[in-house]
Amino acid sequence: MELKRVVVTGLGAVTPLGNDVPTTWNALLNGESGAGPITHFDASEFKTQFACEVKNFDPTAYFSVKEARKLDLYAQYAVASAKEGMDDSGLDLEKVNKDRAGVIFAAGIGGISTFEQEVGAYAKAPEKGPRFSPFFIPKMIADIAAGQLSMIYGFRGPNFGVVSACASSTHALIDAFNYIRLGKADVIIAGGAEAAIFPSGVGGFNAMHALSTRNDSPKTASRPFSASRDGFVMGEGSACLILEEMEHALARGAKIYAEVVGGGLSADAYHLTATHPEGLGAKLVMQNALEDAHMAPEEIDYINVHGTSTPVGDKSEAKAITEVFGAHAYDLNISSTKSMTGHLLGATGAVEALICVKSVENDVVPPTINHEEGDDDPEIDYKLNFTFNKAQKRVVNAALSNTFGFGGHNASIIVKKFVK
């Protein structure tokens, strides 16, 4: 069986750096941080009091107040990014075969604020009996963004959510890629969304000592590959990529941003939350992605790393890169855009795959910000080009994005310039 080719024809984003793709991309190239004090709730008693929140998001730009009440914030972000992606794709809904159009949209956690509100209200007055909203479950569950989008666009093809913690939306993209190249769909709205900057989200990650506690300097707290890194900065938002079968896209004269050429999957099989210290799962997942793409390591120009600014994760990923790419590791660019966006959990893979697509399109690599001279970790090889503090222009024919999730889930996806 000959596999179909899969291309990217639309992009959408709601991120801590901007509520659309152009604003987000410009902020990335300028090395801006999306971090600031938490406004979603009073975090004054929490160890971490800052995060990378979405700013000035207006749900009524996308649906009525009544409809907005039926959606958790994470699903609202999903609808917003998908609308931009669909508009960008130029797909004519009157001409698309909706039986062969699908939605695969991920969340790592789902409607955690909805859960807090509903269960919290019951916990305050259990003697009054249960008074749960009929929308409690459909707002909370992690698949509902995919379901909502299928209803909005009438897409009746493959439709589900994916949950693999921080690797969720990369898995969603790889699933969409696979269904299209296997001939099971013509077009799929793929991506992820997350909105977990609420008491239980921040408190839970704080209890694990996973978050930075640099409350005196939020904008410099996410500092991947620096010796003084002390944990990740939580982000929120959504990103959407419209994936389409190549001939389908060419037949309608679509703009093609890039081609998806490979996806890799692996597991650490090591620890609930920590990455393998030797980077074994990271090494395997990159090798699997390269093999799937039929590419040599030397063909990759840019790696958007998982790079969460955690003590163990950053050094093990850097080690895995040197082992997979050998001498070429020193010729490619590496950057962690989480230094600017924060860690969007289940949405992070989609955001970073989108960044890879934009990098391939524009031949520029966004930076890893917040590294200071001398703040070097003796266990990290600084001969690697981490693209510190300033974007770098270079030809980017192919880019690889890594995402690693709690549970040891690893996913990597490769995009490259489209050549018919």
**133 occurs within a structural domain:** yes
Q: What is the pLDDT of residues 142-175, one digit of tens each?
A: 999 999 999 999 999 999 999 999 999 999 999 9
**90 occurs within a structural domain:** yes
Q: What is the pLDDT of residues 395-406, one digit of tens each?
A: 999 999 999 999
CA separation for the pair 63, 136 (Å, rounded): 19
Q: Order across the sheet with 409-416: list the strands.
A: 159-160, 101-106, 187-194, 237-245, 6-14, 258-267, 409-416, 398-405, 302-304, 333-335
Bridge partners, 188 (sequence order) = 102, 243
Q: What is the domain range of residue 322?
A: 7-416
- Residue 24: CATH number of its domain: 3.40.47.10
Which whole-number Å values give the CA distances from 226 to 105, 198, 315, 322, in the listed order?
33, 28, 10, 18
Query: Does 273 have pLDDT greater than 90?
Result: no
**134 occurs within a structural domain:** yes
Report the 10 Å Cβ neighbour count for 352: 28
Give mean pLDDT, residues 25-35: 98
Q: Catalytic residue positions?
A: 166, 306, 343
Strand 364-365 to strand 36-37: parallel, antiparallel, or no bridges (unpaired)? unpaired
Q: What is the pLDDT of residues 344-394, one digit of tens each?
A: 999 999 999 999 999 999 999 999 999 999 999 999 999 999 999 999 999
What is the number of alpha carbons within 13 Å of residue 385 lying toward its C-beta? 19
**2 occurs within a structural domain:** no
Give mean pLDDT, residues 187-194: 98
Residue 276 is predicted with a pLDDT of 85
pTM of the model: 0.97
- Give, in degrees to the nearest 5, the angle at Cα 235 between 345 and 371: 105
Residue 376 is predicted with a pLDDT of 97
CA separation for the pair 163, 274 (Å, rounded): 18
Report the 10 Å Cβ neighbour count for 226: 23
Residue 245 is predicted with a pLDDT of 98
Q: What is the pLDDT of residues 285-300, one digit of tens each?
A: 999 999 999 999 999 9
Nearest to 144 by CA among 195, 118, 105: 105
**328 occurs within a structural domain:** yes
**149 occurs within a structural domain:** yes
**Mean pLDDT computed over every residue of the chain:** 97
Query: Does 275 have pLDDT greater than 90?
Result: no
**88 occurs within a structural domain:** yes
Query: Does 279 have pLDDT greater than 90?
Result: no
Give mean pLDDT, residues 191-213: 97
**With bands split at pLDDT 50, 70 and 90, how would you rate the model's confidence at 278?**
confident
* Three-class SS of the chain: CCCCCEEEEEEEEEECCECCHHHHHHHHHCCCCCCEECCCCCCCCCCCCEEECCCCCCHHHCCCHHHHCCCCHHHHHHHHHHHHHHHHHCCCCCCCCHHHEEEEEECCCCCHHHHHHHHHHHHHCHHHCCCCCCCHHHHHCCCHHHHHHHHHHCCCCCEECCCECECHHHHHHHHHHHHHHCCCCCEEEEEEEECCCCHHHHHHHHHCCCECCCCCCHHHCCCCCCCCCCCECEECEEEEEEEEEHHHHHHCCCCCCEEEEEEEEEECCCCCCCCCCCCHHHHHHHHHHHHHHCCCHHHCCEEECCCCCCHHHHHHHHHHHHHHHHHHHHCCEEECCHHHHCECHHHHHHHHHHHHHHHHHHCEECCECCCCCCCCCCCCCCCCECCECCCEECCCCEEEEEEEECCCEEEEEEEECCCC
Q: How many domains does the chain contain in total? A: 1
105 near 191, Cβ under 8 Å? yes
* Token couple for 119: 């269960």
CB contact set of 357 (below 8 Å; sequence gap of 6+): 8, 11, 241, 257, 258, 399, 415
Report the 10 Å Cβ neighbour count for 294: 9
**1 occurs within a structural domain:** no
